[in-house]
Amino acid sequence: MTNEALYKIIQMVLENKSEIVRLADYLDPAELGRGILAIPEELVNAGLRPYIMGLSPMISDYKLKLSDGSIALFAEADVPKVGAVKLNYLFTVNELAFGNSGRRLIASFSEQAEAAGTMGKMALSALKLKGPLLETAAQLAKAKVNLGDAIYVSGNSLAVDIDSLPVAHKIPKELNLQYIGSDNGQLKLRYWLD
């Protein structure tokens, strides 16, 4: 790692120090010392809740569960012309490339959605004819948050081009991540710096 890269990392840490300190309470220092970033469910469910809830006014609640090598997401949303919808997703990480060659995430998923009332169920069925609801949500997010082509959903596949996300410039290019797994309430990533 060059001095310039180290300076950028220090600058990023200092610019975000209050948020980093707040979120660091959720991390295990022993794991970090072994080069493993163990992200507990509580970090996503509680620590990042204000940020995640702010992503869309349609989200009314969510919960993440990490077990058996999968990422389960349970969410409730208020969908226009449908009403209240309960969503269940099960994600499996197929690839996480995070380093000098680029940064991307590819996962497969299954989706279950349930609406309340007869009209809501009919409207949800019509909406699902266009494809997975996650695909529709990704298209709405692209328009509202200016995500461009950062998120792509087709069939039961999800691809995220992390380099195309608006916050990508804040992530040090020297940071490398390797997906280990998601079990026992933790998402584990190996990390190192080039």
Residue-level pLDDT at 2: 73
The single residue listed with the structure tokens 């309960």 is 86
Contacts of 57 (CB under 8 A, 6+ apart): none
Flag residues of the chain having pLDDT under 50: none
Domain assignment of residue 55, given as a range: 3-193
- What is the domain count for the chain? 1
Q: How much is the pLDDT for 117? A: 87
Residues 6+ apart with CB under 8 A from 164: 147, 148, 149, 150
Distance CA 158, CA 105 (A): 8
Mean pLDDT (the chain, rounded)? 89
Token look-up 């959903």 returns: 153
Tokens of 96: 């996480």
> Could you tell me the pTM of the whole model?
0.84
What was the pLDDT predicted at 84?
A: 93
The pLDDT of residue 1: 66
